[in-house]
Amino acid sequence: MRGLRRRLAAEAPDAAFRAAALLPLERLVQTGVVAIYYAQGSELDPTPLAERLMQAGAAPALPAARSRDGLLQFHRWRPGESLEPDVVGVPSPPHASAAVTPDLVVAPLLAFDRRGGRIGQGGGHYDRTLENLRRLGRVFVLGLAYAGQEVEAIPMEPHDQRLDAILTEAGYIEVAKG
């Protein structure tokens, strides 16, 4: 899947902009804080999406892994502000930046299905964090991917957290509840 994603990224360098333009803002609940991610390798860059959401009034945040097996922490961040590597080496806001709880989490992935199944990088950070956020209250989870990352079915385990919707350069996919 990583190889496929690299190929898709090379074939569609404008995919992030096309995806951002296709997000139906009216379908989202009022979003105060939106957690994006710092794109690694060939992950679809969420920056154009964040810019669109910021124009609609959302405050951006980035995750930080402070331990290898813990929850992600989200910190306010604006494009251009300094970042430092977290414990897994991903550029993240410094410890001193304001911690926030997101209303919308934009999640990276390797593969997805139309039932909200998601394969991540394998560390379990997003699954643990999303489970905790859902226990605390309402959070909407949007997978951001290339359309070509869709598969028929993702094998789900009890701890896996489903996406609420998926956004690709080909469109917005709502996940049926139930």
What are the structural domains, with CATH classification, of the chain? Answer: 2-174 (3.40.50.10420)
Task: Give the separation between CA 23 and CA 28, rounded to whole angstroms.
Answer: 9
134/141 Cα distance (integer angstroms) = 10
Name the residue among 68, 74, 69, 110 with its Cα closest to residue 92: 74
Residue 178 pLDDT: 57
pLDDT at 48: 96
pTM above 0.85, yes or no: yes
**Among candidates 37, 10, 16, which has minimal Cα distance to 145?**
16
- Give the tokens for residue 42: 């060939």
Task: List the beta bridge partners of residue 140.
Answer: 104
User: In a structure prediction context, what are the per-residue pLDDT tens digits for the chain, which is 178 residues long?
Assistant: 989 999 999 999 999 999 999 999 988 767 789 999 999 999 999 999 999 999 999 999 999 999 888 999 999 998 888 999 999 999 999 988 889 999 999 999 999 999 999 998 877 899 999 999 999 988 999 999 999 999 999 999 888 999 999 999 999 999 977 5
Would you call 172 helix, strand, or coil by DSSP? strand
